[in-house]
């Protein structure tokens, strides 16, 4: 990708808003579009280029909006279509773009399509979803009578029995999120039409929820296949049947032709793809194939998982380097990476990969940010990450709201696991860690709402908040501002070649970026131990400091959680 022909998003930074936790404007304790409109200065001040908005569509909110009952409206909980139009206009006036969440692997069970599909086995929309009779010879509702043995992402089987018809419907996520049948061309056309409607309205692209799961491996006679059994469970993994299924590239190419091709606007498409490999990602993001611009891969956020996400191990630095290194190399010539630590599904990175003790919280938050933002790819900042927001000190089950956590608790405890241990794992890994309200100031509800917040504000907001950081040049916020500006200023940050250094070192993450004779050396000490930089990387001696996260010190020493970007 020679300089000058690179797409606009190679030098862009995206900011993700999870609307229910960003800013409330009407006192009901839930964030909304009015709140976002009030806080646009925060985005301008950070310098981000794109806003990715998690779902604001009408929804029963079983999965906080990832269960959509109408693709072409706004839930009154969040505001109105008129406010969405206002947001598009306000962002464009500030030189920013708006990317909407597109959730089309499944709908809500309250979507009119599903209501119609469910109404009878002869409904013209029956085939819009995955309906199957019980497993051969078994009666509906018998244990194990589900059509396949797949385990849902949100615990239990992926099949829900509909008593009225005696058939099961497929839901890879919660039972209130039935999977759409993309084999049916009418389904695909209805979705493309909806997407064009949003683009015509002025939105600038889509973040596509679990888009690599839309193609299921189905035999010609309609049979779906069991997967390998999961350890200690009566269920199996259906991954081989729905992660990057047989028609996935065909569907995405069709979507590209029908929705995006020939549009003059500068758009952005990013596919969320759990389980995607780097080889597949190269195909998905090869511009010549016309699929998506970039994908969210999950390898690095799975490195600390044991048998499941609830079984957590410490992250080993050499594993992270091997993983990121492979993705950087794999998409160096063709394709593009997206870069993230945090999002609304992950615990807070400063608590998980950094060190959120009072001494090192700021330093580790800025160190992790530097490490990520200096890679080649498009960085994503999740709301509050730019403030160093950390995990929440959950005390009891009542503190949790997330459907994944609550389902897991029911299943794990009923399977005989120790409730205290289950709660412990939820405390570290629950998605609710990412979903506590943004900490704007030190007031009782952190400036998020005048009412009762839907999920408690982290008590640490009295110290960790935007107001306290805005004017402080040493704050996490100020550091994010500098990182974002650096990507805009230096083509080498956006486009330079990536070379990993010290692949075996446990504490120091180091790499170079090079473009047109300019080379940056990035060194990050991801530990509490100081290291002798000059003996580790002699080329650092005398190099010019472009950006660092700690006050000036001995150039030969890398202090705990210190990050430096040097020009060689
Ligand atoms: O969060 C996860 C694991 O804890 C993931 O498995 C997550 O469910 C997966 O990444 C898909 O996420 C997306 O689709 C889900 C929704 O709940 C998530 O919020 C969304 O990002 C279903 O729509």
Q: What is the pLDDT of residues 182-222, one digit of tens each?
A: 999 999 999 999 999 999 999 999 999 999 999 999 999 99
Residues 357 and 404 in one domain: no
Pocket of ligand 1 (CB under 6 A): 63, 66, 103, 153, 173, 209-210, 272, 274, 309, 344-345, 404, 431
149 falls within a domain? yes
Residues 73 and 117 in one domain: no
Instruction: Read off φ and ψ for residue 533, nearest 5 degrees.
Output: -65, -45
Q: Which of 16, 66, 111, 213 to mutate to test the pocket of ligand 1 (most atoms within 8 A of CB)?
A: 66
Q: Can you give the pLDDT at residue 3?
A: 52
Residues 415 and 390 in one domain: no
228 falls within a domain? no
272 is a catalytic site residue = yes
Residues 245 and 131 in one domain: no
- For residue 351, the tally of other CB atoms under 10 A from its CB is 18
Q: Is 538 exposed, middle or buried (0-12, 13-18, 19+ CB in 10 A)?
A: exposed
H/E run at residue 205: strand 205-208
Residues 356 and 470 in one domain: yes
Residues 360 and 288 in one domain: yes
Residues 312 and 272 in one domain: yes
552 falls within a domain? yes
For residue 157, what is the domain's CATH number?
3.90.400.10
Rounded Cα gap, residues 306 and 310, in angstroms: 8
487 falls within a domain? no
Residues 51 and 82 in one domain: yes
Residues 352 and 406 in one domain: no
554 is a catalytic site residue = no
Catalytic: which of 24, 209, 254, 345?
209
**Cα 272 to ligand 1 centroid, rounded to whole Å:** 9
Rounded Cα gap, residues 568 and 544, in angstroms: 7
**Cα 345 to ligand 1 centroid, rounded to whole Å:** 6
**DSSP letter at 8?**
G
**pLDDT tens-place values along the chain, 568 residues long:** 645 689 999 999 999 999 999 999 999 999 999 999 999 999 999 999 999 999 999 999 999 999 999 999 999 999 999 999 999 999 999 999 999 999 999 999 999 999 999 999 999 999 999 999 999 989 999 999 999 999 999 989 999 999 999 999 999 999 999 999 999 999 999 999 999 999 999 999 999 999 999 999 999 999 999 999 999 899 999 999 999 999 999 999 999 999 999 998 899 999 999 999 999 999 999 999 999 999 999 999 999 999 899 998 999 999 999 999 999 999 999 999 999 999 999 999 999 999 999 999 999 999 999 999 999 999 999 999 999 999 999 999 999 999 999 999 999 999 999 999 999 999 999 999 999 999 999 999 999 999 999 999 999 999 999 999 999 999 999 999 999 999 999 999 999 999 999 999 999 999 999 999 999 999 999 999 999 999 999 999 999 999 999 999 999 999 999 999 999 9
Q: Which of 57, 68, 173 to mutate to test the pocket of ligand 1 (most atoms within 8 A of CB)?
A: 173
For residue 381, what is the domain's CATH number?
3.20.20.80
| pLDDT tens per residue, range 164-178 | 999 999 999 999 999
225 falls within a domain? no
Residues 518 and 458 in one domain: no
492 falls within a domain? no
Number of folded domains in the chain?
4
From the alpha carbon of 344, which atom of ligand 1 is closest? 19
From the alpha carbon of 66, which atom of ligand 1 is closest? 23
| Cβ pair 292, 284 in contact under 8 A | yes
179 falls within a domain? no
For residue 559, what is the domain's CATH number?
2.60.40.1180
**Cα 209 to ligand 1 centroid, rounded to whole Å:** 8
Residues 282 and 329 in one domain: yes
From the alpha carbon of 174, which atom of ligand 1 is closest? 22
Instruction: Read off φ and ψ for residue 191, nearest 5 degrees.
Output: -70, -45
Rounded Cα gap, residues 551 and 473, in angstroms: 11
Residues 202 and 139 in one domain: no
| pLDDT tens per residue, range 142-167 | 999 999 999 999 989 999 999 999 99
Q: Can you give the pLDDT at residue 21?
A: 98
| pLDDT tens per residue, range 98-143 | 999 999 999 999 999 999 999 999 999 999 999 999 999 899 999 9
Residue 166 belongs to domain spanning? 112-170
Whose CA is closest to 101, among 175, 18, 9, 171?
18
Q: Which of 16, 210, 300 to mutate to test the pocket of ligand 1 (most atoms within 8 A of CB)?
A: 210
Which two three-digit tokens encode residue 245? 């299924």
From the alpha carbon of 298, which atom of ligand 1 is closest? 10
Q: Which of 345, 408, 433 to mutate to test the pocket of ligand 1 (most atoms within 8 A of CB)?
A: 345
- For residue 332, the tally of other CB atoms under 10 A from its CB is 15
Which two three-digit tokens encode residue 61? 């909110």
From the alpha carbon of 63, which atom of ligand 1 is closest? 17
Catalytic: which of 204, 272, 342, 399?
272
Nearest CA to ligand 1 atom 4: 345
**Cα 178 to ligand 1 centroid, rounded to whole Å:** 14
Nearest CA to ligand 1 atom 2: 345
Q: What is the pTM of this model?
A: 0.98
403 falls within a domain? yes
């Amino acid at each position: 990708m020679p300089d000058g022909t690179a797409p606009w998003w190679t030098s862009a930074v995206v900011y993700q808003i999870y609307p229910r936790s960003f800013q409330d404007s009407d006192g009901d304790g839930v964030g909304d579009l009015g709140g976002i409109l009030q806080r646009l200065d925060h985005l301008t001040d950070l310098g981000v280029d794109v806003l990715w908005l998690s779902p604001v569509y009408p929804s029963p909110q079983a999965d906080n909006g990832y269960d959509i009952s109408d693709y072409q409206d706004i839930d009154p909980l969040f505001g109105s279509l008129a406010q969405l139009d206002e947001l598009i206009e306000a962002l464009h006036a500030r030189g920013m773009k708006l990317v909407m969440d597109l959730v089309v692997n499944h709908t809500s069970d309250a979507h009119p399509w599903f209501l119609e599909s469910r109404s009878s086995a002869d409904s013209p929309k029956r085939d819009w979803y995955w309906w199957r009779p019980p497993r051969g010879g078994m009666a509906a509702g018998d244990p194990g009578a589900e059509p396949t043995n797949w385990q849902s992402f949100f615990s239990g089987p992926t099949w829900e029995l509909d008593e009225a018809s005696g058939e099961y419907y497929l839901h890879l996520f919660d039972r209130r999120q039935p999977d759409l049948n993309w084999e049916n061309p009418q389904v695909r056309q209805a979705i493309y039409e909806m997407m064009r409607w949003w683009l015509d309205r002025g939105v600038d692209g889509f973040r596509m929820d679990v888009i690599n799961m839309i193609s299921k491996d189905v035999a010609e006679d309609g049979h779906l296949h069991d997967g390998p059994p999961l350890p200690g469970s009566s269920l199996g993994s259906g991954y081989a049947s729905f992660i990057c299924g047989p028609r996935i590239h065909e569907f995405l190419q069709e979507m590209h032709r029908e929705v995006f091709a020939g549009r003059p606007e500068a758009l952005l498409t990013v596919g969320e793809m759990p389980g995607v490999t780097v080889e597949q990602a190269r195909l998905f993001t090869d511009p010549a194939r016309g699929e998506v611009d970039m994908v969210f891969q999950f390898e690095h956020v799975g490195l600390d998982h044991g048998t499941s996400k609830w079984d957590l191990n410490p992250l080993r630095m050499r594993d992270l380097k091997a993983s990121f290194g492979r993705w950087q190399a794999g998409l160096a010539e063709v394709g593009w990476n997206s870069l993230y630590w945090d999002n609304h599904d992950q615990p807070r990175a400063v608590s998980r990969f950094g060190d959120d003790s009072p001494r090192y919280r700021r330093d580790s938050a800025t160190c992790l940010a530097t490490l990520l933002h200096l890679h080649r790819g498009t960085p994503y900042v999740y709301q509050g990450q730019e403030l160093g927001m950390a995990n929440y000190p959950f005390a009891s089950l009542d503190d949790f709201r997330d459907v994944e956590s609550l389902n897991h608790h029911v299943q794990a405890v009923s399977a005989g696991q120790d409730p205290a241990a289950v709660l412990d794992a939820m405390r570290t890994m629950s998605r609710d860690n990412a979903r506590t309200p943004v900490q704007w100031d030190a007031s009782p509800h952190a400036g998020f709402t005048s009412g009762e917040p839907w999920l408690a504000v982290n008590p640490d907001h009295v110290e960790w908040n935007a107001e306290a950081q805005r004017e402080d040049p040493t704050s996490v916020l100020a550091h994010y501002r500098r990182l974002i500006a650096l990507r805009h200023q230096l083509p080498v940050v956006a486009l330079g070649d990536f070379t990993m250094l010290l692949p075996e070192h446990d504490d120091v993450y180091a790499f170079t970026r090079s473009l047109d004779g300019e080379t940056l050396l990035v060194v990050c000490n991801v530990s509490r131990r100081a290291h002798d930089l000059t003996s580790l990387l002699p080329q650092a001696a005398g190099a010019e400091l472009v950006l660092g996260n700690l006050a000036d010190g001995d150039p030969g020493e890398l202090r705990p959680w210190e990050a430096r970007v040097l020009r060689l």
